[in-house]
Amino acid sequence: MTWIPPLLVAIPLLSAAATAGLDHITPRPIQDALVIGAATATTALAFVLLWHAESHEVVEWFGGWRPHHGVALGIDFAVGPLAAGMCAVIGLVVTLALLYSLTFLREAARLFDALMLVALGAMCGFAMSGDLFNLFVWLELMGVAAFALTGFQVERLGPVQGAVNFAITNSLGGYLFAIGIALIYARTGALNLAQIGTSLSHGPAGGLVIVAMTLLLCGFLIKGAVVPFHLWAADAYAVAPAPVCAVLGGVMTDIGLIGVARLYWSVFAVPFGHGHGVGDVLLWLGIATAVLAGTMAFLQRHLKRMLAYSVVCHIGIMLAGIGLLDSAGLAGAELMFLAHALLTAGLFFVAGILHVDHALIDELHLRGRGRGSWVLAAAWFAGTVGLVGTPYVGIYLGHGLIDEGARPWVLAPLWLGSALAGAALLRAGARIFLGWGDAEEELLGRAIEEDPVERDVLRPLLVGVALVAVVLGVAISIVPGLGQRAEYAAERFRDTSGYAAAVLHGRAVTPPASLPVSIRHTSLESILFATGTTIFALGLALAGLYRSRLPRGISRAASRTLAPPIRVLHALHSGVVGDYVTWVAVGTAVTGGIWALLLHG
């Protein structure tokens, strides 16, 4: 089955070339069939690959350049169940987004479809790559496609700003990553991840390896929009067309975290003695991301910007799961990725439909306009509840697995972030679909210019796609056997020596003892936390809706104490790219400094 991994990249990239090249010759229906067919075929093959990857590591050496006596000569794709699962979800979300954009971006040239397929191929390549430099190439390829997709509607200034900020910060991240590659190559003379890991496992890791790790991981954290590297995300998502947001927010941001996990367990786990120095920093970054982005989500009135911060918030929770460095945490991050990708895509789709219906995307402007759209309301609230993590809904199972390895002081801020982001979405839903709440709220800042209106859309198709995404996302936590399989996939992913043996010596991995097909249960603590979070999010949403009706003393005290920090938060997210570059430089330096203190000597 080693022929599948290259196809996951080749099919989308070749179809993208065909779509772009044949743009003026073939009629629209054939083009559409080609695009949707390519995305569907990629998704289907990814599921087949997942099936095979469960029993053995699928390793493909390009051009047959296999390792010689355990020394890698060529470039490989090495696919375990986790990477294959990622490809399947990426394929699914991109297919849904392409279906959605069949009628959504009619005026846009077909280059749009080509760019989406390039992004799909690059993301699959990234998830499967076993070579450090190829990771960089896939990272940049998906980056370039995403920058162009973000700035697709260049008739207004907003998309230009979003695309510039996105392109500059992410390219800077990519170049820091390239410098890290050069340092690692200088030390080990290898580019294959398994080879680098084997080579570094012999001696103690010195300062050079710490610097290289900082540059490599920070490169991925910038892609993953982790605090303090997250500033570009909201600018880019607020201006991109809804189907692009679904792909960027649903899968492309999260993929940076897969890179972090892949690098850590294949390369840096052994040199740093599996100690908690690396993981603790990731954990703290995750906690900071979850809380700060949750708060920022609550302070937004532009629906897509609110969703962008909600994405960043959940990325923080996933990063914390990875930072715990145990199987449950990684499996939790993986399950959260599944549910979060589908739910986020679904909510972006709903936001896009609201914009089609009312030519508005601002929560306050849309107040009460969604009354009567029961299907949309159901999709929005179901997606929101799934993102809060109410027991056994949506991201709950993933969050519950992360809880298992975490100490209570870690759990509380993670659930708090989830509650804040969820409260923002609940508040927006109640305001739009139920007409609840005040018509004005000065703490949310000023309105942002609206997107251009899409005409002649096939509305049932849009609604159908949104519903599929939300329903699949909500159901993730109760799919029988999924939790156990995620844990097995995480164990395989964390097995550094097993990975190296499979890649360099072609040795078989231990296949799983028959995994049970039942719903994975979580601890009582998680159920209590999740229930508390749901209630807290509801309360917070109501407080956000009816701040003016709180007793006057409380209301005034609240605005007096909250307004200054809120102003500071808004000012920090300045939208100016120079500030973002400064944050990247400072964040990388501080992260590296902390690692140097914790790991050296």
174, 352, 417, 437: which one binds other proteins (CB under 8 A): 174
Q: What separation in angstroms does the CA of 75 have from each of 14, 60, 62, 123, 171? A: 20, 8, 6, 17, 24
82, 89, 172, 270: which one binds other proteins (CB under 8 A): 172
Tokens 């990477």 correspond to what residue?
Answer: 83
Q: Does 161 bind other proteins (CB under 8 A)?
A: yes
Q: Where are the alpha helices (DSSP H) in 22-78?
A: 28-53
Q: What are phi and psi of 258, to 5 degrees?
A: -60, -40
574, 593, 597, 600: which one binds other proteins (CB under 8 A): 574
CB of 584 to other proteins, least distance (A): 8
CB of 443 to other proteins, least distance (A): 11
Q: Does 133 bind other proteins (CB under 8 A)?
A: yes
Count of other CB atoms within 10 angstroms of residue 73: 11
14, 20, 108, 168: which one binds other proteins (CB under 8 A): 168
Q: Does 162 bind other proteins (CB under 8 A)?
A: yes
Q: Does 565 bind other proteins (CB under 8 A)?
A: no
140, 326, 403, 454: which one binds other proteins (CB under 8 A): 140
Count of other CB atoms within 10 angstroms of residue 213: 26
| b/e map 171-205, b = 16+ CB within 10 Å | ebbbebbbebbebbeebbebbbbbbbbbbbeeeeb
Q: Does 527 bind other proteins (CB under 8 A)?
A: no
Q: Does 300 bind other proteins (CB under 8 A)?
A: yes
At 37, list the tokens: 């067919």
20, 375, 509, 581: which one binds other proteins (CB under 8 A): 581
Q: What are phi and psi of 310, to 5 degrees?
A: -65, -40
Provide the sign of the torsion angle of the four alpha carbons 565, 283, 305, 558, taken in this order: negative
Q: Collect all residues with Cβ–Cβ distance below 8 Å to 364 and sequence separation of at least 6.
A: 301, 431, 439, 440, 441, 444, 447
From 47-55, 235-243, 273-281, 482-490, give the range in contact with other proteins by CB under 8 A: 235-243
From 62-70, 152-160, 476-484, 509-517, give the range in contact with other proteins by CB under 8 A: 152-160
Cβ pair 244, 152 in contact under 8 A:
yes
CB of 411 to other proteins, least distance (A): 29
Q: Using CA atoms, how far apart are residues 187 and 204, in angstroms rounded to an integer?
A: 12
Q: Does 447 bind other proteins (CB under 8 A)?
A: no
Q: Does 75 bind other proteins (CB under 8 A)?
A: no
Cβ pair 430, 436 in contact under 8 A:
yes
Q: Position 208: which residue type? A: L
Nearer to other proteins, 116 or 457 (CB): 116
182, 439, 528, 597: which one binds other proteins (CB under 8 A): 182
CB of 139 to other proteins, least distance (A): 9
From 66-74, 101-109, 382-390, 577-585, give the range in contact with other proteins by CB under 8 A: 577-585
CB of 117 to other proteins, least distance (A): 16
Q: Does 121 bind other proteins (CB under 8 A)?
A: no
Q: What separation in angstroms does the CA of 139 have from each of 118, 142, 143, 582? A: 12, 6, 6, 22
157, 458, 557, 562: which one binds other proteins (CB under 8 A): 157
CB of 186 to other proteins, least distance (A): 4
Cβ pair 397, 520 in contact under 8 A:
yes
At 552, list the tokens: 């006057």
Report residue 418 CA to chain centroid gap: 15
Q: Does 147 bind other proteins (CB under 8 A)?
A: yes
Rg of the chain (C-alpha set): 23
Q: Specify the DSSP element, H or E, that contains 257.
A: helix 255-263
Provide the sign of the torsion angle of the four alpha carbons 28, 33, 35, 36, taken in this order: positive
576, 590, 597, 600: which one binds other proteins (CB under 8 A): 576
221, 299, 474, 540: which one binds other proteins (CB under 8 A): 299
Cβ pair 76, 130 in contact under 8 A:
yes
Residues contacting other proteins: total by CB under 8 A: 55
CB of 401 to other proteins, least distance (A): 34
3-state DSSP call for residue 449? coil
Note if the bond before 512 is cis, omega within 30 degrees. Answer: no
- Count of positions (residues) in the chain: 601
1, 154, 535, 563: which one binds other proteins (CB under 8 A): 154
Q: Does 235 bind other proteins (CB under 8 A)?
A: yes
Q: Does 191 bind other proteins (CB under 8 A)?
A: yes
Q: Does 186 bind other proteins (CB under 8 A)?
A: yes
Residues forming contacts to other proteins in the complex (CB under 8 A) are 133, 136-137, 140, 143-144, 147-148, 151, 154-158, 160-164, 167-168, 171-172, 174-175, 178-179, 181-183, 185-186, 191, 235, 238-239, 299-300, 305, 445, 448-449, 569-570, 573-579, 581-582, 584-585
